[in-house]
Amino acid sequence: MAGYSKTPLARKLGIKPGSTVYLINGPANYAELVEPLPEGTQIETVSDSDRLREGAQFIHLFAADRETLDRSLPAAKSALAKDATLWISWPKQAAKKLGVETDLDGGQIRAAGLATGLVDVKVCAVDEVWSGHKFVYRLADR
């Protein structure tokens, strides 16, 4: 459970029962962050986004820097099913106090996602280090 909210992170992210979460560049404690997972949900860690298969329903991409975002986002978007969810997480500015450096901010994440033709529909705190933007295809593009 992240932050001050009593809502479990898996619920805030919209992880559904029986789904596969494709995790790109995620933190080592991601499974702990999203506990409890809905029944039948699997997390598949993907170190190289090029390995993603088309039709993914839920992708959570973590980018600590612009280079990682630029390298991973195109493949993640191309693997995303038309009715699916792509979360892009980046280190919060406050994470610098924890020793996490970044050259990204929420505005850059939003701009990068919009540039792919997706729309952002939600923002949430993942934990004390990471924030996330939720992206989906426009209704007209589904």
Q: What is the CATH number for 82?
A: 3.40.50.150
In-domain check, residue 3: no
In-domain check, residue 1: no
Domain of residue 104 covers 9-141
- Structural element, H or E, at residue 11: helix 9-13
The structure tokens 């459970």 sit at: 1
Beta-carbon count within 10 A of 141 CB: 10
Is the per-residue pLDDT at 80 higher than 60? yes
Q: State how many domains the chain has.
A: 1
In-domain check, residue 56: yes
| Phi, psi values for residue 31, rounded to 5° | -60, -40
Residues in contact with 97: Cβ distance below 8 Å, sequence separation at least 6, in sequence order: none
Question: Which three-class secondary structure state does DSSP give residue 92?
Answer: coil
Distance CA 50, CA 66 (A): 17
Residues in contact with 115: Cβ distance below 8 Å, sequence separation at least 6, in sequence order: none
In-domain check, residue 50: yes
In-domain check, residue 2: no
In-domain check, residue 103: yes
pLDDT tens-place string over residues 88-122: 999 998 888 888 999 999 999 999 999 999 999 99
Is the per-residue pLDDT at 51 higher than 90? no
Q: Would residue 18 be called left, alpha or beta, if left means φ above 0 and alpha means ψ between -120 and 50 degrees?
A: left
In-domain check, residue 38: yes
In-domain check, residue 108: yes
pLDDT tens-place string over residues 13-48: 999 999 999 999 999 999 999 999 999 999 999 876
